[in-house]
Structure 1
Amino acid sequence: MRRLPIERDPRHPFDPPPGLRGLPPMARLEMADGHLGWLATTLDAARAVLTDPRFSARQELKHPAVRSSAPGGPGRPAPPGFFAATDPPEHTRYRRLLTGQFTLRRMRLLEPRIERIAAGHLDAMAAAGPPADLVTAYALPIPSMVICELLGVPYADHAFFQDRSRELVTPDGDPRAASAALHAYLLDLVRRKREEPADDLLSGLTGELTDEELANVGLILLVAGHETTANMLALGVFALLREGRAYEEGMEEELLRRLSILHLGAPSRAALEDVEVAGVLVAEGETVALSLPMANHDPAVFPDPGALRPGRPEARRHLAFGHGVHQCLGQQLARNELRAGYRALFERFPGLRLAVPATEVPLRQDNAVYGVARLPVTWG
């Protein structure tokens, strides 16, 4: 029985893992705990699972495709506030509160601030001179600073939460210890916000949620708000430089589709009853994992899926931000950060290029997030 392959071919780093080639829309999969489940590999199959209320996001009902780093652990209910692992109506309550914090208008108001943050880091890169590691000098600090300011987390503590966030997703990390450390940090911060509220997201929700709920909401947003966007920003630059291309306006949607940085078979869902998907019967209690790289490279939806085509009309059908009621709350913020980050970088350094051969750029093959561990670049 097939285990979930996540390793990508370094010679073709932007394609889905080669071990997934040739699979049917719904393929049998052995989960990390030995249970048998399914892997959805096409866009239609993945969307069907994500929109059908007969599938649950509750982690105590699911079997993990790979080692789980979810707070509470597999087989146990998610702690209060961990809305990503809940179903309606509980999920609806959290989602309604948070949607007001991520309105399109509010995200647009953040655009000038994002542009200033990007410009400041480009100034620092220029002053230091080439070469530079684009991950630490640019890709990671931008979303980290933005999410810190949005939540009201002191950026002076960024090294702490970045290190703990990395432990949550790396194969050799200690996800339970990292999750506990982040939770304790945020719980203390939430209590301080109650005593001295400020103009930030955490302060704005203190009247609606308990300390425990708000700390876990903050944990999800803090980790997701910098880990995924930072990897997407760096991997997108690597993809462009590897192909000798510069950023074109609107290219971020096609990069999101082609690169698919969430690659572990997540999100996943548990069947609450027998459900037919793509011609196969998923039995009650079985877990369906989703291969986002395969769905985003579905040739039936995206012709010549391995090609990077700016302006591809169907690009926005990608699942980089999920689909259905659990679709990413911060997707517009991420789009703004990517757009501003790519545009400012290539405008400031039109001669930007890799400082090492592309084959020597170390790939980050974590359980959860795909990217580059370092990206040495030079210019001028």
Structure 2
Amino acid sequence: MRSLGVAVAYPDPGVADELVHAVEAEADLYLALDPARAAVVLAGEEALSTLGEHPADAAVVGVAADRDAIAVVARAALRCGAHEIVLWPQDRAMLRSIVRDAATRARIGAGRAEGRIVAVAGARGGVGTTTVAAMLARAVAESVVVDLDPVGAGLSGFLSDGAEPTLAAVVAAVDDLDPAALSAAMAGHAAGRAICAEPREAAPTKQQAARMLALLRATVPVAVIDAGRAADDAAMAAISLADQTICVCTPDVASIRGARALIAAAGRGFPVVLNRSARMRLSAKDVARVVGAPPVAVIPDDPAIRRAGEAGRLPSRGAARRAIERLAGLILAEASDGS
């Protein structure tokens, strides 16, 4: 987790000193001496009226040093668009979480949330999109896998014991959620964490999907989206907004043609993954001839996937797992290169 620079703009030297020490006591916060370079500004009433001097995309947290000042600070915070209010010193224990949540909301508003979205779409049904998405998420630390294929809702089959699908609840409240609430809605899963759909539940709208993706960017380093066959507006929104989209196909004529059709429908090229590759079937060269480029990854037909899936697990070893881990490494390398 990256450190955040916090500037303190409070007129009372004693309160300002307490705020500085509180910031410096947190391992992932540091004192920004130049407010223009701060990610978050802790500001008293007077400073809230002069925040035009600070960067427009910085988070602003109003500070009230006593209960009688809360109403005055709240009005000043509303006028300048502050993201939160702290009652000092009563909120001392929550300062870190308040600061980080405010910074996240500022990044969302400024379009600067840093998480990466990877959409996994299937050339047709039954090509293994859900398993590839789940295994890809498992291979990336601190990621989450999200089910935007409510028709199949295959990710729910890998939920941990006692965990429930939460996509419907997230979608219903998506306009009011913040990153902390979204994190709380992530359920235990064989891939690590997941937001799963119930079978046959209504798909999110395009707008709901876009809002959820924005929250995911601000909440996790990488979110892997199972877009299924990209058969609705939410799945197509995920494909259009993702940093990277991967199309999964199998070595058969209908699937490879489906990959070409999906790429054409999306209006932009993206890599193809050949899943369940085996001898005496169509090859990576055949895929390249149809879609115009060789597969970015070839995942062998691996019985370990079927055996694990029947038990609600992901395979702990095997050729398919190694191939998907290499694919995850390629995606992370592209992210670090800014591509």
Shorter-chain TM band: under 0.3
Instruction: Please give the TM-score of this superposition, normalised by the length of structure 1.
Output: 0.20
Greater relative contact order structure (CA < 8 Å, 6+ sep): 1
Larger Rg: 2
Larger strand fraction of residues: 2
Q: When the two structures are superposed, what TM-score results if normalisation uses the length of structure 2?
A: 0.22
